[in-house]
């Protein structure tokens, strides 16, 4: 379960669903303006923003913060592993996916997105789900090392967008480069499924350039057309 869910229903015939997961200490409201920007371009997509419960976070000396799972260090340590919290979080997002499938949405039209800790969770769900998903987008994310033994992709078919800031100190570029190597060299993801981009001058945040690249990627994996000034482009 999640604390709450913010939804932006499709205003035209729904053809896809995006589930967006916020970062550590954030609320879904932080992303409302960004989601509105996407929403205007993709009226055929329903956007779902779950809210994590507030819980004690070791990195913040036990203070209550909205968190998908506990974390003790930033950048994340090699042995960081809140097994119970991660299992519960994965189950919560899988529950949302299952509910969408029950509503008649083809799982191949469901895309996961996330920022930072939400990106890590999106990747863990996407790489372990029994559902064939439409894609997963990581913004300033990472793949926890202890999770990798649970990831089995015998025939990788999941499109992945991976954006990161060159100046990010919370999740430094090495984490993105190393994780991309894991997808490419260990899981044997073919190059055409991987979109890997670093952004000069960007820290632990997102940028307009990154959002534009993410939009183009989403167009490809959803096979939809964007809307500009109320007119669908071709």
Please report, for the domain that includes residue 131, its CATH number: 3.40.50.1820
Range of the domain at 51: 4-232
Residue 204 is a catalytic residue: yes
Residue 116 is a catalytic residue: yes
Residue 150 is a catalytic residue: no
- Of the residues 67, 176, 204, 222, only one is catalytic, namely 204
For the segment 6-28, what is each residue's pLDDT rounded down to a tens digit?
Answer: 999 999 989 999 999 999 999 99
Q: How many structural domains comprise the chain?
A: 1
What's the pTM? 0.95
- Of the residues 116, 129, 140, 222, only one is catalytic, namely 116
- Of the residues 138, 168, 176, 222, only one is catalytic, namely 168
Please report the DSSP string for the chain in residue order.
Answer: --SEEEEE--SSS--EEEEEE--TT--GGGGHHHHHHHHHH-TTEEEEEEEPPEEEEGGGTTEEEE-SS----SSPPTT---HHHHHHHHHHHHHHHHHHHHTT--GGGEEEEEETHHHHHHHHHHHH-SS--SEEEEES----GGGGGG---SS----EEEEEETT-SSS-HHHHHHHHHIIIIIS---GGGEEEEEETT--SS--HHHHHHHHHHHHHHHT---EETTEE--
For the segment 196-206, what is each residue's pLDDT rounded down to a tens digit?
Answer: 999 999 999 99
For the segment 49-87, what is each residue's pLDDT rounded down to a tens digit?
Answer: 999 999 999 999 999 999 999 999 999 999 999 999 999
């Amino acid at each position: 379960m999640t604390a709450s869910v913010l939804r932006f229903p499709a205003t035209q015939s729904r053809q896809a669903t995006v589930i967006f997961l916020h970062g550590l200490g954030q609320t879904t409201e932080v992303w409302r303006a960004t989601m509105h920007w996407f929403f205007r371009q993709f009226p055929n997509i329903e956007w779902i923003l779950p809210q994590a419960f507030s819980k004690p976070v070791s990195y913040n000396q036990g203070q209550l913060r909205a968190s998908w799972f506990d974390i003790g260090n930033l950048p994340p340590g090699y042995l960081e592993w809140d097994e119970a919290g991660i299992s519960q979080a994965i189950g919560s997002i899988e529950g949302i996916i299952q509910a969408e499938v029950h509503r008649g949405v083809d799982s191949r039209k469901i895309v996961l997105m996330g920022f930072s800790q939400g990106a890590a969770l999106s990747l863990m769900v996407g790489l372990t789900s029994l559902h064939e998903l439409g894609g997963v987008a990581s913004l300033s994310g990472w793949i926890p090392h202890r999770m990798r033994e649970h990831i089995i992709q015998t025939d990788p078919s999941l499109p992945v967008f991976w954006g990161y800031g060159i100046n990010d100190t919370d999740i430094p570029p090495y984490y993105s480069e190393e994780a991309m190597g894991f997808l490419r060299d260990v899981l044997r993801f073919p190059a055409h499924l991987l979109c890997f981009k670093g952004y000069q001058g960007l820290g632990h945040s997102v940028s307009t350039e990154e959002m534009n690249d993410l939009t183009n990627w989403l167009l490809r994996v959803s096979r939809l057309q964007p809307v500009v000034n109320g007119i669908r482009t071709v």
